[in-house]
Amino acid sequence: MAKALLTADAARSLVGSVDAFLFDCDGVIWKGDELIQGVPETLELLRKLGKKLVFVTNNSRKSRRQYSKKFKTLGLEVTEEEIFTSSFAAAMFLKLNNFSPEKKVYVVGEDGILDELKLAGFECFGGPEDGKKNIMLEANFYFDHDKNVGAVVVGLDQYFNYYKMQYASLCIRENPGCLFIATNRDPTGHMTSAQEWPGAGTMVAAVSCSVQKEPIVVGKPSSFLMDFLLKSFNLETSRMCMVGDRLDTDILFGQNTGCKTLLVLSGVTTLPDLQDASNTIHPDLYTNSVHDLVKLLQQ
Amino acid sequence: MAKALLTADAARSLVGSVDAFLFDCDGVIWKGDELIQGVPETLELLRKLGKKLVFVTNNSRKSRRQYSKKFKTLGLEVTEEEIFTSSFAAAMFLKLNNFSPEKKVYVVGEDGILDELKLAGFECFGGPEDGKKNIMLEANFYFDHDKNVGAVVVGLDQYFNYYKMQYASLCIRENPGCLFIATNRDPTGHMTSAQEWPGAGTMVAAVSCSVQKEPIVVGKPSSFLMDFLLKSFNLETSRMCMVGDRLDTDILFGQNTGCKTLLVLSGVTTLPDLQDASNTIHPDLYTNSVHDLVKLLQQ
């Protein structure tokens, strides 16, 4: 797989050969709550050129509705239908797999997952509420759990605790057929603009270790999100370009699903990371930030 | 490696050929806070036969002193010197590796680790205290950490939270040369007598995922604890028998260090687990519980 610096020629050729741009958000559009420079102009130009824009994020903390509001706050007009989050993907996974509405979903994660599950018609609990619960590990203490939980969804959870680990473990281990779904396995993320924080992958690793079982992953780089996206839009993946800042999720996702790939260095991946001999994931093209698209196309 | 049911002949031969019995505690001596039947008679008989007894536990929640008290509460006379915990191992690892007393240790774990580190003369913080701390993931929030932390020790932590995950991650990632030490990687343990709970391995998995780095493991099945034990006692491992309930820690530890191995089925491992085609760890001998030793030797 080639990797080449985005030039004016390459930018023109890229824009000419794709109908849709799929953008990761954190590290591409914003960092924490700060817009990355040149994003409004880039999106505006691509829309003018008739390109379809899709925003694909592994961050499960917000629902599509909340993300649409966040875009608006940052001065960007993006509709809910243009946003694909891993929390939405978890809800759609259950829907497409005919998860019984009689069963419940236990959530290790935040409001985004609970909101999307409820919108999809599923009964769910856990989330921030259970972040307040403590455990006293005493001699005969027996921790009970709801035998009617048929799926556990694990995503990024700043209220992660031992109570939730045990609740999720008991459901997965003891409820027959209980699904173990991970929104994503990102080890870190820019939860604030100032620094990196432990990502959903850390909660998934903890629960996975406890139950000694691997989860079904619905976010990037799993192709589930793309399959669902293709059902929603009339597009071919060969005419899409995935734009992201992370090799092991965004770029791998683009490659796994047959998209062109553009790495931007405005997020977690640095040029030395990309060029390191140990790196095996190479995007088609790379550049500093999405703003370069505008600058190069206008040359 | 053979596996055979413990018979009267095998029990006599075993007791005749070893000078020391190394006992795991949880699932062998007790379950949670309940003594396993026949343990007092077994220990008494082995002591009468002149055998050295050593108690080797991966549980880092208590210090050696606290464990000695627990033994006493259960009616067993066991001295601090006979007890080797993974919390003690963590402190001894730092000591033997000349960890500078000028540096600090950050603890993701409970009082046992803090107590052993302090007894060994190290300055440490974190632990249950940091279990009360919350984080608000807001736009410009910057999480500061002590640049003087030279080691992070991760063990079982019922007060595990996002604050500690980030604190540990920042120290390991940003403090040059900072050690990442795991007491052990057990996925589960009988924290209460009523059921299994997520073990230290789950906290280790979360931090390890966040920093994308493997820890130094000081508890079973790592041989560090045995090396230290050999320094403390004048014993040969070929004349020791490791008695445990867990294949991937106790039995593997015994095998890794050249001991004879006896699996007891009174803890997490069942006979079907042992006989499962996927199991690759086979003890020399197995039996239902340590009580069988007494019963067989008296036949």
Residue B33's pLDDT is 82
Q: How many CB atoms lie within 10 A of CB B279?
A: 14
**Domains of chain B, earliest start first:** 4-58+221-297 (3.40.50.1000), 89-217 (3.40.50.1000)
B120, amino acid identity: A
Residue A45's pLDDT is 96
Q: How many CB atoms lie within 10 A of CB A95?
A: 15
Alpha-carbon gap: B45 to the closest alpha carbon of chain A (Å): 28
Q: Which among A187, A192, A194 is the nearest to B210, CB-wise? A: A187
User: Which residues of A form the catalytic set?
Assistant: 24, 26
CB A157 within 8 A of CB A183: no
Chain A residues within an 8 Å CB radius of B135: 158
Residue B1 predicted with pLDDT over 60: no
Q: Greater confidence, B225 or B91?
A: B91
- Percent pLDDT > 90 in chain A is 86
Residue A1's pLDDT is 42
Residue B209's pLDDT is 98
Active site residue B26: yes
Chain A residues within an 8 Å CB radius of B159: 161-162
pLDDT tens digits, one per residue of A220-239: 999 998 988 888 888 899 99
Closest by CA to A131, choosing from A109, A113, A112, A116, is: A109
Residue B132 predicted with pLDDT over 60: yes
Alpha-carbon gap: B32 to the closest alpha carbon of chain A (Å): 6
Alpha-carbon gap: B129 to the closest alpha carbon of chain A (Å): 14
Q: Is A24 annotated as a binding residue?
A: yes
Residue B140 predicted with pLDDT over 90: no
Residue B16's pLDDT is 96
* Binding site as annotated, residues of B for Mg(2+): 24, 26, 245
Residue A3's pLDDT is 62
Alpha-carbon gap: A269 to the closest alpha carbon of chain B (Å): 14
Q: Tell me which chain A residue has its CA closest to the CA of residue B169.
A: A198
Is A201 in Cβ contact with B140 (below 8 Å)? no
Chain A residues within an 8 Å CB radius of B158: 135, 137, 162
Q: Which among A138, A143, A192 is the nearest to B137, CB-wise? A: A192
pLDDT tens digits, one per residue of B155-186: 999 999 999 999 999 999 999 999 999 999 99
Q: Which among A135, A162, A198 is the nearest to B166, CB-wise? A: A198
Q: How many CB atoms lie within 10 A of CB B24?
A: 25
The whole-number average pLDDT for the span B212-237 is 91
Residue A138's pLDDT is 80
User: Three-class SS of residue B221?
Assistant: coil
Chain A residues within an 8 Å CB radius of B197: 137, 143, 162, 166, 169
pLDDT tens digits, one per residue of A261-290: 999 999 989 999 999 999 999 999 999 999
Residue A111's pLDDT is 96
Q: Burial of A98 by CB count in 10 Å (0-12 exposed, 13-18 middle, 19+ buried)?
A: exposed
* Binding site as annotated, residues of B for substrate: 220
The whole-number average pLDDT for the span B99-103 is 96
- Percent pLDDT > 70 in chain B is 99
Residue A187 predicted with pLDDT over 60: yes
Residue B294's pLDDT is 94
CA distance B262 to B265: 10
Alpha-carbon gap: A46 to the closest alpha carbon of chain B (Å): 28
A76-82 LR contacts (CB < 8 Å, sep 24+):
A76/A29, A76/A35, A76/A39, A76/A40, A76/A43, A78/A53, A81/A232, A82/A53, A82/A54, A82/A55
Is B161 in Cβ contact with A192 (below 8 Å)? no
Q: Where are the beta strands (DSSP E) in B13-122?
A: 20-23, 30-31, 34-35, 52-57, 83-85, 104-108
CA distance A148 to B266: 30
Helix ranges (H only) for chain A are: 8-17, 39-48, 64-73, 86-96, 111-119, 162-174, 200-211, 224-232, 252-256, 271-275, 291-297
Tokens representing B1?
A: 């490696």
Residue of A73, A204, A210 for testing the chain B interface, max B β-carbons within 10 Å? A210
CB B126 within 8 A of CB B113: no
Chain B residues within an 8 Å CB radius of A205: 205-206, 208-209
The whole-number average pLDDT for the span B251-271 is 95
The whole-number average pLDDT for the span A1-14 is 86
CB B131 within 8 A of CB B113: no
* Binding site as annotated, residues of B: 24, 26, 220, 245
- Percent pLDDT > 90 in chain B is 86
pLDDT tens digits, one per residue of B43-89: 999 999 999 999 999 999 999 999 999 999 999 999 999 999 999 99
pLDDT tens digits, one per residue of A45-102: 999 999 999 999 999 999 999 999 999 999 999 999 999 999 999 999 999 999 999 9
pLDDT band at B276 (very low <50, low <70, confident <90, very high): very high
ipTM for the predicted complex comes to 0.92
Residue of A130, A167, A195 for testing the chain B interface, max B β-carbons within 10 Å? A195
